[in-house]
Structure 1
Amino acid sequence: MTEGEKTRIVAWSMELRSVHERLRKALAITQEAVASGAPPGRDLLLFCHGFCAALTGHHEGEDRELFPAIAAEHPELRDTLRKLEQDHSMIGHLLGGLQAAVDQAAGPEELARHLEGIAAIMESHFRFEERQLLQVLETLALDADPGRVFGPL
């Protein structure tokens, strides 16, 4: 194995951590915008839309690119991958609720409740995913664009 191949292999675990951290920061910025008490306006709409799009893109990339590659090399993880995909579906539903609230110009309290629910599930999901997959990602042979695998962040 060349040094470049080793770097790419280890980079998948580092990339997952990095993407999760960027999504946590995007959520925090969105929560801060809501907590400021300003009426829902263009900035808040942009924060919510950007966060929703980034998290959705991340999960779609994992479902499309990453999880099939892991399942092929580690069939013993198929139940874990199904659980993660179920989480993605649940988070997608919660994001849809947030988007509907934003579209209906919901007040800051309602938006904060949506974001709090998303934050709780997202953090639980990220921690489980990292516990289950980081070691696997350090040895995963996947030749793909990180933007397709983890979403365009």
Structure 2
Amino acid sequence: MTGGETTRLIAWGEELRSVHARLRNALSVVRDAVAAGEPAEAAGRDLLLFCHGFCTALTGHHEGEDRELFPAIAAAHPELRETLTQLEQDHAMIAHLIGGLEQAVASAATPAELGRHVEGIAAIMESHFRFEERRLVAVLQTLALDAEPERVLGPL
């Protein structure tokens, strides 16, 4: 194995952490927009834009994991199938919560209601990311997966 191949293998764990960090930052922007609570039309448009960007990025990340990453991990590490099932269940729950947030934003919900949606997503997302990192980063250090990072981990 050449040094470049080793770097690519190790990079999957770093890519996962990097994507999680960007999603956490995007969530922070959404939280700030909700906390501003400005009823003005411009603030509503900003919130819609921030929520759409965050929701699209998080959904794309989870779809990439479900489609590309988790099957590769399951093939190389069948002992992790239960962990992967738990992570996929989290993805479904987060998708449901994102749908609720998108509906709330589209219906011009109150800042308090939007805040409840955002905090619900934040709590599950953070728990999910920490569990995923604890259980998968070490595996990703040795996973041989020849794919584009955007396809595996969502839009970067």
**TM-score for the superposition, normalised by structure 2:** 0.97
| Structure 2 residue matching 1:41: 3-state secondary structure | helix
Q: CA deviation at 1:101?
A: 0.2
Paired-residue identity, %: 75
Count the aligned residue pairs. 153
Q: What's 1:45 paired with?
A: 48
**Match in the other structure for 1:80:** 83
What is the aligned partner in structure 1 of residue 16 from structure 2?
16
Counterpart in the other structure of 2:140: 137
Aligned to 1:121: 124
Cα shift at 1:152: 0.7
More off after superposition, 143-152 vs 39-48: 39-48
For residues 124 and 42 of structure 1, the distance between their equivalents in structure 2, rounded to whole angstroms, comes to 29
Cα separation, 2, equivalents of 1:149 and 1:110: 33
Superposed CA RMSD in Å reads: 0.6
Aligned mates of 2:15, 2:89 — CA distance in 1: 22
Q: Give the counterpart letter for 1:73 in structure 2.
A: A
User: Amino acid of the residue matched to residue 22 of structure 1?
Assistant: R
Name the amino acid aligned to 1:12: W
* SS of match in other structure, 2:52: helix
Amino acid in structure 2 at the alignment position of 1:126: F
Residue number in structure 2 paired with 1:35:
35
1:88 CA displacement: 0.2
Residue aligning to 1:7: 7
The answer to whether structure 1 residue 107 and structure 2 residue 110 are counterparts is: yes
Match of 1:56 in 2: 59
String of CA shifts for 1:60-114, please: whole Å, max 9, x gaps. Answer: 0000000000000000000000000000000000000000001101011100110
Give, in whole Å, the separation in 2 of the partners of 1:41 and 1:79.
41
Q: The residue matched to 1:140 in structure 2 has which SS?
A: coil
Unpaired runs of 5+ in structure 1? Answer: none
1:37 deviation in Å?
A: 1.6
Runs of 4+ aligned residues of structure 1 deviating over 3 Å after TM superposition are: none
Separation (CA, whole Å) in 2 of partners of 1:34 and 1:45 = 10
